[in-house]
């Protein structure tokens, strides 16, 4: 494929960038702080797809691009590629998470109990038009009431304690023989795990590559393929075994003492789905940085569907992982805006030649009818 340079020069490019900035709000620290505070789920999505947990930088990327998600993800990935890797964090298990939301569609009563947590699942989808009415501004509830913790404990008694590490639903199912047991594996050095950010994916992909690709995949792409399977084009109609929103401690090993210590917490989300269309439950799983329930549910569905024999796109691991990569997909799409004068002219030449050849071809007697 050939390209030629578009004329116009650096001045035109600078004017174009200035016009883009003029049509957006002024870029300032206050804008970045406002985005970070008021749009946490959008910031989470950019961090997850950018594969870099940095809320301030994700908010900056959104402010700098006027909210263009793909450009913001590209900015974050580009910045990430310039940073050195200083250490490898220790693995984190489900039971070590500080869980704030944990629900299951498989069972009403699960070990540790269900935690509704922050959610709009049961809210009315109504616009707060009263906030736009300046006359009623003083009487409108512009901010939600402060959250309170309710307890069923009798007066004078302490509320029931919350177990921060309830048994995972899948672990309980394994103890009941419903799920295959997890194979015994020796402790793994995190530095020895395959790293999709440093080496290209090969197919069939290692388990680590598949989970890493789903973790930073485009939310819309994962949802589109997952929804196609949900509607009946796939083989599975799974149930959400467990969905979690939580905080995970990032733990490192001290270089001198070897003791593990926490350097901070990050928001994470994960989902397990199970399929009962077999002699035993089959499990699909996805986790990502930030809180993104839709992506995790659809990703877990795709994890369950990939490599199935039927010819549906969601059953091909290579198709799913390649075509849900946000930076490569958006980059290839927008490259069509670049000048393609040479290739287009070549196509026109071929078209004209084919027309001329067809016009000069002798006409068969029956063609005149």
pLDDT, tens only, 358-367 = 888 776 666 5
Q: Is 55 helix (H, G, I), strand (E, B) or coil?
A: helix
Q: Determine the Cα–Cα distance for residues 192 and 212; give it in Å rounded to an integer.
A: 15
**What are the pLDDT digits (tens) for 63-110?**
999 999 999 999 999 999 999 988 889 888 888 889 999 999 988 888
Q: Determine the Cα–Cα distance for residues 333 and 323; give it in Å rounded to an integer.
A: 12
Model pLDDT, residue 38: 93
Taking phi over 0 as left and psi of -120 to 50 as alpha, with beta for the rest, 269 belongs to beta
pLDDT bracket for residue 160 (50, 70, 90): very low
Paired strand residues for 268 = 246, 289
Radius of gyration from C-alpha coordinates of the chain = 26
Which residues lie closer than 8 Å to 180 by C-beta, 6 or more apart?
Answer: 174, 280
Query: Residue 126 has which token pair?
Result: 């109504």
**Are the beta carbons of 284 and 295 closer than 8 angstroms?**
no
**Are the beta carbons of 121 and 243 closer than 8 angstroms?**
no
pLDDT bracket for residue 24 (50, 70, 90): confident
Q: Determine the Cα–Cα distance for residues 304 and 315; give it in Å rounded to an integer.
A: 9
E strand segments, the chain: 98-103, 239-253, 260-275, 282-289
pLDDT bracket for residue 164 (50, 70, 90): low
pLDDT at 2 > cutoff 50: no
Angle at 295 between CA 129 and CA 95, to 5 degrees: 110
User: Which contacts (CB < 8 Å, 24+ apart) does range 194-201 have?
Assistant: 197/51, 197/80, 201/321, 201/322
Which of 34, 74, 76 has the alpha carbon at shortest distance from 53?
Answer: 76
Q: Determine the Cα–Cα distance for residues 47 and 268; give it in Å rounded to an integer.
A: 11
Q: Determine the Cα–Cα distance for residues 24 and 62; give it in Å rounded to an integer.
A: 11
Q: Is 260 helix (H, G, I), strand (E, B) or coil?
A: strand
Which residues lie closer than 8 Å to 161 by C-beta, 6 or more apart?
Answer: none
Paired strand residues for 282 = 275
Paired strand residues for 265 = 249
1-10, 54-63, 233-242, 319-328: which is most confident: 54-63
**Are the beta carbons of 214 and 302 closer than 8 angstroms?**
yes
Q: Determine the Cα–Cα distance for residues 141 and 146; give it in Å rounded to an integer.
A: 12
């Amino acid at each position: 494929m050939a390209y030629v340079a578009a004329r116009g020069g650096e001045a035109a490019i600078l004017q174009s960038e200035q016009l883009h900035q003029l049509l957006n709000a002024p870029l300032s620290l206050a804008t970045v702080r406002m985005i970070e505070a008021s749009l946490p789920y959008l910031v989470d999505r950019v961090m997850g797809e950018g594969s870099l947990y940095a809320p301030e930088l994700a908010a900056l990327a959104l402010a700098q691009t006027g909210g263009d998600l793909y450009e913001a993800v590209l900015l974050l990935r580009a910045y990430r590629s310039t940073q050195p890797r200083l250490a490898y964090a220790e693995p984190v298990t489900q039971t070590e998470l500080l869980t704030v939301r944990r629900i299951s569609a498989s069972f009403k009563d699960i070990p540790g109990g269900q935690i509704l947590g922050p959610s709009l699942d049961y809210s009315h989808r109504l616009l707060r038009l009263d906030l736009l009415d300046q006359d009623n501004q003083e009487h409108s509830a512009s901010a939600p009431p402060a959250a309170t913790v309710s307890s069923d404990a009798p007066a004078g008694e302490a509320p029931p304690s919350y177990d921060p590490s309830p048994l995972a639903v899948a672990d309980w199912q394994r103890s009941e023989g419903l799920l295959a047991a997890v194979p015994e594996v020796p402790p793994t050095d995190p530095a020895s795990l395959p790293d999709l950010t440093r080496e290209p994916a090969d197919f069939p992909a290692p388990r680590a590559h598949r989970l890493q690709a789903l973790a930073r995949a485009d939310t819309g792409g994962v949802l589109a393929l997952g929804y196609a399977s949900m509607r009946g084009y796939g083989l599975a109609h799974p149930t959400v075994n467990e969905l979690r929103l939580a905080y995970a401690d990032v733990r490192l090993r001290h270089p001198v003492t070897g003791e593990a210590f926490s350097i901070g917490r990050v928001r994470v989300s994960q989902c397990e789905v199970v399929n009962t269309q077999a002699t035993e439950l089959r499990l699909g799983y996805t986790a990502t940085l930030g809180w993104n329930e839709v992506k995790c549910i659809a990703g877990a569905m795709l994890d369950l569907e990939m490599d199935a024999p039927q010819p549906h796109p969601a059953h091909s691991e290579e198709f799913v992982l390649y075509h849900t990569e946000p930076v490569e997909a958006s980059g290839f799409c927008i490259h069509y805006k670049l000048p393609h004068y040479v290739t287009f002219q070549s196509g026109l030449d071929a078209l004209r030649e084919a027309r001329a050849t067809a016009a000069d071809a002798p006409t068969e007697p029956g063609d005149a009818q």
